[in-house]
Amino acid sequence: MRIAVIGGGPAGMIAAGFAGSRGKDVTLIEKNKRLGKKLFITGKGRCNITNASPIEDFFNNIITNSQFLYSGFYSFTNEDIIRLLESYGLKVKVERGNRVFPASDKSSDVLKTLSKFLLDNNVKIILNRTVIDIEKVVDGFNIKFKDNSIEKFDKIIIATGGKSYPATGSTGDGYNFAAKLGHHIEKLKPSLVPIETKEIWIKNVQGLSLKNVKLISTIENENIHEEFGEMIFTHYGISGPIVLSMSNIINKHIRKNIKLFIDLKPALSKEKLDKRILRDFLKFNNKHLKNGLDELLPQKLIPIVIDIASIDGNKPIHQITKEERQSIVETIKKLPLTFKGFRPLKEAIVTSGGVSTGEIDPSTMESKLIPNLFFCGEVLDVDGLTGGYNLQIAYSTGYLAGINI
């Protein structure tokens, strides 16, 4: 019995390895010249392997179809992937937010470890070969390759990833295969992606990083979500960890009137911030307003805050009224940004949408429509926040496909 796993990313490697560990004849087919091309660049080249939080906490960090992943997460946990990698000699470390990284800070070490796992389980690895079509036949599947050759397999696991970072090979092939075989594809949207805003002043602060700030999203004056941490201004808008996480939430509300705000001083209440500004104003009493906020705000943001607060920056600080001071407080606590949209899908970390989970058995990853056809990883309509959760989706769903095929 021949099994083909299409896609050599983390989901495909785990699926192929565990299928091979059960004595199956497994062939892993990858279009790139090497396995795990996208995995290689994750975590800025360090590979955020998984998250060390209790597995029950994972579901709060899965934005799309978390219930579908119950069987997967509990069958192959974060501890299981760490144990597997450590059994091959890879040392790991836990950092802020319970993010797990290789101790070496090299994603290449994770790939080498997973490659050993494949070889140990007699998986045949075919690189630099592109699948262009899958046909269901009476006694299996015919896989057609770019060179027009055809090979027959009894069972197939599709682990082709999403449509983000197409340079890594994630070009949406799996969606085409699934659709042709009768599966419904939920609309593809960028997830964990930078946000574009309409403000002209954004270009004046391009490259400015902010730490310990709060990003708030609202719809019709109702708060939708808040994220605390780091962000950066870009020529098109905003990016950074809290922006990427925010994008995952608000892409569910994309057709609504979304507004964004930055709380530049979330640790201070409005009253405490006002007292802080008063102290600074006493210290810089004879200066102009534009020169009196240096100890409170980044230099590049000062003229922007003053302008949004509708105050003349050349006004002497000792002439600033209580109302004007309150306007500064309001602006610092709620710096407005006009949501324009997301950066393109090709720039997203993961793809939201994909093969409908209603057509997949969550305990085996087998298609409910076509026997002996399995799916795992990003090709499915599941996605989560940053922090190692999306890679854990790949391992857990890949494991179920591998042991059940």
Q: What is the mean pLDDT of residues 14-24?
A: 97
Q: What is the mean pLDDT of residues 279-307?
A: 93
Strands 25-29 and 124-126: parallel
Which of 299, 320, 342 is the last residue in one of the domains?
A: 342
Same domain as 153, residue 10: yes
The mean of the pLDDT values for the chain is 95
d(CA 108, CA 343): 28
**What is the number of structural domains in the chain?**
2
In this prediction, residue 41 carries a pLDDT of 81
Same domain as 180, residue 293: no
Domain housing 391: 2-189+346-404
pLDDT digits (tens, 9 = 90+) for 258-277: 999 999 999 999 999 999 99
Same domain as 358, residue 297: no
More confident residue, 115 or 224: 115
Produce one character per residue of 354-389: b if its CB has 16 or more CB atoms within 10 Å, e if not: bbbbebbebebbbbeebebbbbbbbbbbbbbbbbbb
In this prediction, residue 394 carries a pLDDT of 97
In this prediction, residue 164 carries a pLDDT of 83
Question: Residue 244: CB partners within 8 Å, gap ≥ 6?
Answer: 192, 193, 194, 349, 386
Instruction: Write the CA distances from 238 to 71, 94, 223, integer angstroms.
Output: 36, 28, 19
Radius of gyration of the chain (CA): 25
In this prediction, residue 112 carries a pLDDT of 97
In this prediction, residue 1 carries a pLDDT of 93
Residue 395: pLDDT band (50, 70, 90) is very high
In this prediction, residue 374 carries a pLDDT of 98
- Residue 91 clears pLDDT 90, i.e. is over it: yes
- Residue 336 clears pLDDT 90, i.e. is over it: yes
- Residue 372 clears pLDDT 80, i.e. is over it: yes
Same domain as 400, residue 355: yes
Instruction: Locate 374 and state its tokens.
Output: 């399995």
Could you say which DSSP state residue 360 is in? B
Residue 5: pLDDT band (50, 70, 90) is very high
In this prediction, residue 290 carries a pLDDT of 92
Q: What is the mean pLDDT of residues 21-48?
A: 92
**CATH number of the domain where residue 330 is located:** 1.10.8.50
The structure's pTM equals 0.89
What are the two backbone dihedrals, phi and then psi, of residue 136, each rounded to the nearest 5 degrees? Answer: -80, 125
- Residue 49 clears pLDDT 90, i.e. is over it: yes
Residue identified by tokens 């095929």 is 405
| Count of other CB atoms within 10 angstroms of residue 256 | 12
Same domain as 176, residue 30: yes
H-helix or E-strand spanning residue 85: helix 78-87
pLDDT digits (tens, 9 = 90+) for 181-221: 999 999 999 889 999 999 999 999 999 999 999 999 998 88
- Residue 327 clears pLDDT 70, i.e. is over it: yes
Same domain as 362, residue 333: no
- Residue 229 clears pLDDT 70, i.e. is over it: yes
**CATH number of the domain where residue 79 is located:** 3.50.50.60
More confident residue, 255 or 112: 112
Same domain as 199, residue 129: no
d(CA 72, CA 66): 10
Same domain as 239, residue 92: no
Same domain as 306, residue 255: yes
Same domain as 117, residue 101: yes
Same domain as 285, residue 207: yes
d(CA 37, CA 17): 18
Strand-pair partners of 260: 217, 337
Same domain as 171, residue 23: yes
Alpha-carbon dihedral of residues 89, 95, 100, 102, nearest 10 degrees? -30
Q: Give all strands of the β-sheet with 99-102 in edge-to-edge order.
A: 50-51, 99-102, 92-95
| DSSP secondary structure, 303-346, as one string | HHHHHHTT--TTSBGGG--HHHHHHHHHHHH-EEEEEEEEPPGG
Instruction: Locate 170 and state its tokens.
Output: 């994630």
Could you say which DSSP state residue 383 is in? E
- Residue 255 clears pLDDT 70, i.e. is over it: no
Q: How wide is the angle at C-alpha 252 spanned by C-alphas 249 and 256, nearest 5°?
A: 110
